[in-house]
Amino acid sequence: MTCRPLPPVGAHPKYFLQSGCVMRLAAIAHMETSQDAASEMNTSENGTPNRRVTVMKFGGTSVGRPERMRQVARIVKTSAAEGRPVVVASALSGVTRQLDAALEDVAAGRLAPEQAVEAMRERHTEHAAAVLPPEGRERYESLLERELARYADALRQAATSGATPELRDRVLATGELCSVPLLAEALRAEGLNAAYGVSTELFVTDDAFGKARVDRDATAKNVRGWFAGCADEAIPLLAGYVGSTPRGQTTTLGFEGSDYSAALVAAFLRADAFERWTDVDGLFTADPNADPDAEHIDELTMEQAARLNDEGGLGMHPKALRPLLEAGIPAHIRCTTKPEGEGTRIRPEGVLAEERG
């Protein structure tokens, strides 16, 4: 498996375009329960230490506005000067809900597929026009049209057969598969060499559409192979939330699945740190926008974070903390609009709530 910079217009290298004929991977053997073999991903062949690897997950609010996507690119550039960032990103804010609503409207005959596709095209091309130079827009829009063609095909099927779980995942995956190539071009505009991997070819799942379970053995092998093929100066970049079955059916991992994707990537690569970038400077005892007495939380254990997440206080995928705990990787919740802020650190020690018995 190789990892290369973004291709020129018209090129179709593996891992940059979601091919209609995806990799045929081995059948799923032990879903979610397999333990990854120890892998020293941060040591070179001659045993010398490589740069510190940090998996950086950016949510929809971090990439959903042009000025914020430019800020994300600057944050990644700063991280690249200090170590080896690996970026996992979500769809633009609001897009997943827009896709879900469009699917329902098309299936009910209230909206034509062409109208839904045009709305998605308009959202992303306007975003690209505000962020990218002309040559970057040309490259991006070529990739965008390929994703929109797949989106249109899924909607046309929904118009005749209804919004099946499989079609819903194909539609919802469009958000990430359109946003992450855009972020890759934004990184390129900052002078970075972005290596965009297609998550539907790297993340292997079962066919539980809407809440697919990841085959950790197969996915770890794919992600490690992809990362190993990336040039040292490249910024590895992946879409969160999405995967595919061994038969090539697109799947999604459920609510806030990008957090889980990113945590798995961190575990598979034995990353030194995991950063979750959002629109607030870490965690507070209450909503700081509504409560002037809200206090900032500087640090938590994984156990405390797991309890908070169970109560909805973190808003993360329910499984997102487990890979970090298993691999002993510290987490840091940070603010995209205030990168100099302290954020909230989560120490890896502690036991997940469900494991306490």
123-179 residue pLDDT tens: 999 999 999 999 999 999 999 999 999 999 999 999 999 999 999 999 999 999 999
Integer CA distances (angstroms), 128 to 69, 123, 222, 249, 303, in order = 10, 9, 30, 28, 40
Do 184 and 196 form a contact (C-beta atoms < 8 A)?
A: yes
Tens digits of per-residue pLDDT, 172-189? Answer: 999 999 999 999 999 999
Is 53-355 in CATH node 3.40.1160.10? yes
Average confidence (pLDDT) over 80-90: 97
* pLDDT at residue 10 greater than cutoff 80: no
Q: Which residue has the tokens 């506005």?
A: 65
Alpha-carbon distance of 86 to 90, in angstroms, equals 14
* Mean per-residue pLDDT over the chain, rounded: 85
- Predicted pLDDT at 42: 53
Q: 356: which residues sit within 8 A by CB, 6+ positions away?
A: none
| pTM to 2 decimal places | 0.83
Quick one: tokens of 181? 């190539």
Alpha-carbon distance of 227 to 294, in angstroms, equals 41
Tens digits of per-residue pLDDT, 219-251? Answer: 999 999 999 999 999 999 999 999 999 999 999
The band of 304, judged by pLDDT with boundaries at 50, 70 and 90, is confident
CA pseudo-torsion sign 75, 76, 79, 85: positive
- Predicted pLDDT at 309: 81
Strands (E), 90-203: 193-197
Residue ranges per domain, the chain?
53-355
Alpha-carbon distance of 170 to 161, in angstroms, equals 14
Average confidence (pLDDT) over 8-16: 31
Integer CA distances (angstroms), 6 to 15, 230, 239, 284, in order = 10, 12, 15, 39
Do 91 and 120 form a contact (C-beta atoms < 8 A)?
A: no
- Type of residue found at 254: G
Alpha-carbon distance of 237 to 89, in angstroms, equals 8
* pLDDT at residue 35 greater than cutoff 70: no
41 - beta bridge partners? none
Average confidence (pLDDT) over 25-48: 37
Q: Which residue has the tokens 């018209």?
A: 10
Say if strands 53-58 and 273-278 run parallel, antiparallel, or are unpaired.
parallel
Quick one: tokens of 65? 């506005």
Q: Where are the alpha helices (DSSP H) in the chain?
A: 60-63, 66-82, 95-107, 113-131, 134-161, 165-172, 174-189, 199-202, 216-229, 257-268, 302-310, 321-327
- Torsion on CA atoms 295, 300, 302, 304, rounded to nearest 10: -50
